[in-house]
Amino acid sequence: MKCYFNNLLLLIGLLCVWPFDTMKGQANTSAFISGDFADPSIIKVKKKYYAVGTSSEWAPHFPIYTSGNLRDWKQVGYVFDKAPEWTSGSFWAPEYYFHNNTYYIYYTARRKADNVSCIGVATSKYPDRGFKDQGVIISFGKEAIDGFVYNDNGQLYITFKAYGLDKRPIEILGSRLSADGLKLEGEVFSLLKDTNRMGMEGQSILHKDGFYYLFYSAGDCCGGGCSYNVRVARSKEFKGPYEEYSQNPVLQTNERWKCPGHGTFVKKDDGKYMYIYHAYNKQNNVFTGREGMLAELVWGNNDAWPSFISQQTDNRSTGNITASFEGQKIALYWQWDFRNATPVIRQEKGKLHLSGTSKEGNNTGVVLTVRPVSNHFDMTTTVANSNAALKGLAFYGDANAAIGVGAVNDKVEFWMVKDNNRTVLATQGIEAGVPVQLKFTMKPDLTCEVFYRQTGNDWQQIAPEIKQDVSFLPQWDRSPRAGLHFKGDSNLEAAFSGFEMVNR
């Protein structure tokens, strides 16, 4: 990351530009929320912080985390357990706001009627539960995304990204917002135009010393070829015109993390502003998605421009999971691709029962997934029942891109769906009616291995001669997920006793 400090102490400047992998204290050695957690937004409520992030095509929608210290985070729920009626998918960029003793989340989703991305809003009396959808608030051009609300001396404004406006470039637009936060008022106006055709989105605004500072993300957000970075412009007036900082970007790819962007700010008790954003871990690349990161905002003297110091989070969470399926309620970390399958999940007496129906053309089936935090992991489960359905483990990018291992009748099957074509890579006979343990290993060279065992025997690798590449799994805007798999008639089910994910 290049940092530009005007009139700051030389020491701070050195801290900023020193290579992060060798620098103690300021090194970005871990994400504050590991795994796929893009477009994060944060709010402080008394002594607690709450963060919400993009869920894209995974249900439930918009995971919510909480922390008391910005280091140790725990998932506490979702904004929506069920998709709002008007939506069809692409649940992106949720943005927290608090007003009139009400918590608002402004979010992006595709409208079912025409597949256009719009901005909706949900409200609750609590920051972590009870959100009620209030419907579409912004439909503008061919797409309106990334809502951000700003209170300018009592007048609420909402800003957003739009494109497809009569051959005009992408713009950050704004409008007055009603006092109840639920509708636009007056004419929509332009704050900043993408005249350089770099892309422009994910904006946040702060006011300091007579200037409005508009922070935004530029470049391609997602995938292996991303070019995301954070830039800043400022103006004496909220509506502009905004002057671009001559030494942009203020946050960009460094030795460990690439394509940082789409962040919002929170003020700590000590007065410091923290910027929550996402970035790809270079080692894991797109296989762990855009992970949640933190940086401190630093102001120069007089009217100097701001800069960022990336933060060491001391996050000791490994992302490992051991599930014994006790109780009747499934854990919060489980998600599924709601567009392509409708899972039926029942948990009781130490077993998780999975079945459901798949959308026509889905050659993978139903997958109940968790977010890996590494590109090197083992996951294991025990299939406790025997029938004609395929039951086991899957590494899932989408319904047309998945790979896994499962038991069906008296055999174990190593299978793959690529470009929506299903292939059985290998099979191995097993003793019917006896529980079978399965293991799926993802390796750093982007190949996978699969294993099975019964009645306490050693693990047996299936088709060790196959070095199956899995680089086809990640989707452009989200990482693949790993978890439990079912494919079969809806009157059948899979019964699993235990699941473990160990990230290496």
Angle (CA) 345 368 260, round 5°: 140
Give the three-state DSSP class for 10.
helix
Averaged pLDDT in 10-residue chunks for the chain of 504 residues: 37 33 35 94 97 98 97 96 97 97 98 96 98 97 94 97 78 97 97 88 96 97 96 98 96 96 97 97 95 94 89 69 95 98 97 97 98 96 97 98 98 98 98 96 97 94 96 96 98 98 94
Pick the CATH number of 321-503 from 2.60.120.200, 2.120.10.80, 3.30.505.10, 3.40.50.620: 2.60.120.200
pLDDT reported for residue 12: 34
Each domain of the chain, given as residue ranges in start order, spans 38-264, 321-503
pLDDT reported for residue 315: 57
pLDDT reported for residue 316: 54
Please identify which of the residues 36, 39, 95, 378 carries the catalytic annotation: 39
Cβ-Cβ contacts under 8 Å for 77 (sequence gap 6 or more): 63, 64, 128, 129, 332
Fold of 38-264: Tachylectin-2; Chain A (2.115.10)
Residue range 287-341, pLDDT digits in tens: 999 999 999 999 988 789 999 998 765 555 678 999 999 999 999 999 999 999 9
Q: Is residue 220 annotated as a catalytic residue, yes or no? A: no
pLDDT reported for residue 451: 98
CA distances from 427 to 392, 403, 468 (A): 14, 14, 15
Q: Is residue 39 annotated as a catalytic residue, yes or no? A: yes
pLDDT reported for residue 11: 34
Cβ-Cβ contacts under 8 Å for 422 (sequence gap 6 or more): 363, 364, 415, 416
Q: Which two tokens stand for residue 276?
A: 């929550």
Structural contact between residues 299 and 266, judged by C-beta atoms closer than 8 angstroms: no
What is the largest distance, in Å, between two alpha-carbon atoms of the chain? 76
pLDDT reported for residue 198: 85
Residue range 158-176, pLDDT digits in tens: 999 987 666 777 899 999 9
Structural contact between residues 203 and 231, judged by C-beta atoms closer than 8 angstroms: no
* Backbone phi and psi for residue 17, each to the nearest 5 degrees, phi listed first: -95, -10
Residue range 106-145, pLDDT digits in tens: 999 999 999 999 999 999 999 999 999 999 999 998 899 9
Please identify which of the residues 201, 398, 477, 493 carries the catalytic annotation: 201
Tell me how far apart the terminal alpha carbons of the chain are, to the nearest angstrom: 27
